[in-house]
A = this chain, B = another copy of it.
Amino acid sequence: MENTVEQQNSTAQVITPSQLLEHWQGHRRVTRRVIEAFPEKEFFTHSIGGMRPFADMVMELLGIAVPGLKEVVTGETTELQEHFDHGNSKAKLLQWWDEASEEINVLWAKIPAEKFQEVLKLFGQYEGTLHSQVFYFIDNEIHHRAQGYVYLRSLSIEPPFFYDRS
């Protein structure tokens, strides 16, 4: 990629921290609608090809986003935790989702822009620049949510629009 380096301008932002936050929150709004679209039972049980039910994927996303950002802000390592006692209640997971979205805003405000180029290790094992970590959080959410789209289609349910981030 040496041919692009000369064109980089250190004063021009490709994407600012607040734009990246809004990008992520837009995706979180879509994911919330995908959770809502699932019938209660199938949210916790429906599977294709031996894959996890969508509720389990959502728990993974909940286990990464806020705990990951907390590590970024506090510098304290925690263990990745992907199982929470939801009592098979979709409402409970939606509540956690909303609380996490709020907490992401609060934590994000504590991250200085310079930090996005810093290399850090999260959950004691994943090493990379902060921007690569955040993009992993977002991309992993898109990835699993898209699997939820297929689950919904296989249940004859129309998923929310991918491009509507409102």
**Is A81's beta carbon under 8 Å from chain B?**
no
**Is A3's beta carbon under 8 Å from chain B?**
yes
**Is A89's beta carbon under 8 Å from chain B?**
no
Contact A162 B143 (CB under 8 A): yes
How many copies, total?
Answer: 2
Contact A51 B153 (CB under 8 A): yes
Task: Kindly state the separation between the CA atoms of A63 and B154 in the bound complex, as whole angstroms.
Answer: 26
Contact B136 A12 (CB under 8 A): no
Cβ of A138: which chain B residues have Cβ within 8 Å of it? 139
Mark A residues whose CB is within 8 Å of B.
1, 3-5, 7-23, 27, 48-51, 105, 108-109, 111-114, 116-117, 129, 131-132, 135-136, 138-140, 142-147, 149-156, 162-163
Q: A12-B113, A136-B163, A143-B143 are in contact. List 7 more A-B contacts (CB 8 A).
A: A4-B109, A7-B113, A8-B18, A9-B112, A14-B20, A142-B143, A147-B149
